Structure 1
Amino acid sequence: MSTFSETEERQELRKQVAKLASKYGRDYFAGKARSGEKTTELWLELGRAGYLGINVPEEYGGGGGGIGDIAAVCEELAAQGCPMLLMVVSPAICGTVIAKYGSEEQKQKWLPGICDGTGTMAFAITEPDAGTNTHNITTTARRDGDGWVLKGRKIWISGVDEASNVLVVARAEDAKTGKVKPVLFVVPTDAPGFEFNAIPMEIVSPEKQFQVFIDDVRLPADALVGDENGGLAQLFAGLNPERIMASSFNTGIARFALDRAVAYAKEREVFQGPIGGHQAIAHPLAQSHIEIEMARLMTQKAAALYDEGDEFAAGEAANMAKYASAEAACDAADRAVQTHGGFGASQEYGVAGLLVATRVGRIAPVSREMILNFVSMHSLGLPKSY
């Protein structure tokens, strides 16, 4: 087996996920989005097949695989026109953090539902006034008897309306030093004082974005995930997987856009032959194929490093993969629209909506500028610029 080939098991996983997702496809996904419905059937079928929790330990209902496996599932879904954003959030971020830092009781309580899709979990870190600067979040957690009380606001929180719980990042005051520290809590979405409003979006997706209001939400002691003095290590445990998953999400959408463009370029005839025979069409599509494959390779490298436990190298590779995949996806979507000509703006061919979806990839979950800051400082040794 070549070093640059995935294992036969991973290749078979991709094949089976693609087969399952193709039963649904882009028409199903876009139809659900435009009618205001959810892709619950697809989500639950993925859970029954064991794909949602493939990265979660087997004793909690998972497949015992690594981040590379769940990333492969995410990519193949998107490549079939079904980019499932909650794949990034529920199993990869929340599942990883709970499996790594949760108590035995917490793992037994929450991981099985994440794996079978019946207990999907959202993740809330971003705030209106903090943006990319996670150190400035102001959602507070204070002790109240044996439990905790949370208060604050979050924004751009995906899929809260489909989640049973939300893993919330808050700040608590250290009793010894008086300094604030990041802490993680699992908050039920039906908890008194927990409210959320959908943010109107231009993206064609059944998965919505929300602003969340946390108004004196009372939680029991066992809602705290990990050590309350664990600090940033616990928080960042979910962020490298998030970048790797975002990269797979992007490359999957890029593959879908390119496949649509290539199919159209083969069948559309203008000027005595298929338009794909003209270099003005063929070369941009060939460029996208190259860019997508490079981004996929960096994503696979990041996943392999993460699964090997090399945190710094994984972080560097995950950031670069996320950057490269977003650029590849934006270019692929733009070229797909251009290849279709006027039809590129129609709903019939399903590529125009990808322009907005891929463009968001340059912003979330971390902006291209912050990635360039990271690479400048940590990879090149330049002075910190922010």
Structure 2
Amino acid sequence: MPPVLLESDEHKALRQAVATLGERHGRDHDRESLWQEAGRLGYLGVNLPEAYGGGGGGIAELSIVLEELGAAGCPLLMLVVSPAICGTVIARFGTDAQKQRWLPGLADGTRTMAFGITEPDAGSNSHRITTTARKDGGDWVLTGRKVFVSGVDIADATLIVGRTETVSSKEGRTGRLKPCLFIVPRDTPGFERRRIDMELHAVEKQFELTLDDVRLPADALVGDEDAGLLQLFAGLNPERVMTAAFGIGMGRYALTRAVEYARQRTVWNAPIGAHQAIAHPLAQAHIDLELARLMMGKAAHLYDAGDDTGAGEAANMAKYAAGEACVKAVDQAVHTLGGNGLTREYGLASLVTAARVSRIAPVSREMILNYVSHQTLGLPKSY
């Protein structure tokens, strides 16, 4: 069930090539083997600058890669994190040395980077982050905690969101904290991780991080310490677009399995797909997924065009629409198969839990509704 969208010939060719790769690896893929092959073929770094080994494209191209892998049953979650968030931030705001050190490896898959923003007490509220970074001579010292950080054990480093103390030039007193981004190598002293025991079965594990006076050199800071939210959302907007791609790909995979079953499963001398009670919900799921894809494409286009404000609104909407469409598609797929939908043979039961991730992470649908009501509709806040 190929998607229908007005795309360039280059995008169509990329979509077909990635779909072929995904079909070859399939649902029972080996994550490391798929990651390495995708890196060799240039898919992991399709959004990164050509000067550093990337494809010179943008989030539009990277979202195609993740969506098509997901539609084949083998989504690579670290695509959301390593090239989309971390690679984008470093490409836009990193020093030449940081770009040379990290981007070629992120592009070909030989290096990966995790992303740590969520905290136990802050949740989705980035304004309440308490992980602090203070200057000590020529170094930075980070202290704090992070939670629900994906793939820390397999990543070479983690891009940590901390907050630097600003000092009032008039009074010499500590002022408000500004968010800043730091590259923390995996084996840095004081940087500890604890695996979170999740019911969700995924290759990429979830971790809680503790930063206990983690000392970093000055060049661990990415970008300007006074830039604040600008640099942070340069990574969060691609994250939302890519999460939409993750959900849409998963929804397409589930829907394809359900349609195949509905065509073949015969009851009372007719395929069950001939009955409108089966056909209509599947058609609705397809429509919802296609609408989400259109918004995802809009968000990616705006971001790649440099419209960060417009991309912020569209990326949030795309993530919301994709999460809802994914959950409904997976639920209807399982329902279509009945008891078979819960068997390991058909590979849908595990998606029931995984689909919820597209609603919850990296930002809940309620926070997106807050964003749209405040930023788009101009309604007052209740908090």
Decide: shared fold, TM above 0.5.
yes
TM-score by length of 1: 0.95
- Cα distance in 2, alignment partners of residues 101 and 26 from structure 1: 37
SS in structure 2 at match of 1:361: helix
Aligned to 1:73: 65
> After TM superposition, what 4+ stretches of structure 1 lie above 6 angstroms from structure 2?
none
Aligned to 2:378: 381
Q: Does 1:142 align with 2:134?
A: yes
Q: Does 1:16 align with 2:17?
A: yes
The answer (yes or no) to whether the contact 2:234–2:308 under 8 Å persists in 1 is: no
Structure 1, residues 16-44: CA drift from partner, whole Å, max 9, x if none? 0111111111122xxx5xxxxxx111111
Aligned to 1:44: 36
- Cα distance in 1, alignment partners of residues 49 and 104 from structure 2: 10
Aligned to 1:333: 330
The answer (yes or no) to whether the contact 1:153–1:214 under 8 Å persists in 2 is: yes
Alignment of structure 1 residues 136-285 onto 2, 5 Å: 136-176=128-168, 178-179=174-175, 180-285=177-282
Report the Cα offset of residue 172 of structure 1: 1.3
Aligned to 1:288: 285
Counterpart pick for 2:96 among 101, 104, 121: 104
Report the Cα offset of residue 7 of structure 1: 0.5
Structure 1, residues 128-162: CA drift from partner, whole Å, max 9, x if none? 01001111111111112211111111001011111
- Cα distance in 2, alignment partners of residues 289 and 183 from structure 1: 40
Aligned to 1:113: 105
Aligned to 1:313: 310
Report the Cα offset of residue 202 of structure 1: 2.1
SS in structure 2 at match of 1:206: coil
Aligned residue pair count:
375
Q: Does 1:133 align with 2:125?
A: yes
Structure 1, residues 292-329: CA drift from partner, whole Å, max 9, x if none? 00000110011111111122221111111111100000
Report the Cα offset of residue 4 of structure 1: 5.5
Aligned to 2:350: 353
SS in structure 2 at match of 1:162: coil
Aligned to 1:35: none
Q: Does 1:364 align with 2:361?
A: yes
- Cα distance in 1, alignment partners of residues 198 and 23 from structure 2: 26
Instruction: Between 63-72 and 176-185, report the one with greater CA deviation.
Output: 176-185
* Amino acid paired to 1:24: H
* Amino acid paired to 1:133: N
The answer (yes or no) to whether the contact 1:139–1:153 under 8 Å persists in 2 is: yes
Report the Cα offset of residue 90 of structure 1: 0.5
Structure 1, residues 86-144: CA drift from partner, whole Å, max 9, x if none? 10000010011000000011100111111111110000000001001111111111112
* Amino acid paired to 2:118: T
- Cα distance in 2, alignment partners of residues 253 and 45 from structure 1: 21
Report the Cα offset of residue 203 of structure 1: 2.0
Structure 1, residues 36-56: CA drift from partner, whole Å, max 9, x if none? xxx111111111111111110
SS in structure 1 at match of 2:145: strand
- Cα distance in 2, alignment partners of residues 312 and 194 from structure 1: 34
* Amino acid paired to 1:242: E
TM-score by length of 2: 0.96
The answer (yes or no) to whether the contact 2:330–2:352 under 8 Å persists in 1 is: yes
The answer (yes or no) to whether the contact 1:262–1:285 under 8 Å persists in 2 is: yes
Report the Cα offset of residue 242 of structure 1: 0.6
- Cα distance in 2, alignment partners of residues 113 and 176 from structure 1: 40
Instruction: Between 174-183 and 190-199, report the one with greater CA deviation.
Output: 174-183
Instruction: Between 372-381 and 124-133, report the one with greater CA deviation.
Output: 372-381
- Cα distance in 2, alignment partners of residues 278 and 4 from structure 1: 28
Aligned to 1:5: 6
* Amino acid paired to 2:129: I
Counterpart pick for 1:58 among 39, 45, 50: 50
Report the Cα offset of residue 176 of structure 1: 3.5
Structure 1, residues 56-92: CA drift from partner, whole Å, max 9, x if none? 0001110000110001101011111012111000001
* Amino acid paired to 1:5: L
Unaligned runs of 5+ in 1: 33-38
Report the Cα offset of residue 339 of structure 1: 0.7
* Amino acid paired to 1:153: R
- Cα distance in 2, alignment partners of residues 196 and 129 from structure 1: 17
The answer (yes or no) to whether the contact 1:373–1:385 under 8 Å persists in 2 is: no
Report the Cα offset of residue 385 of structure 1: 2.8
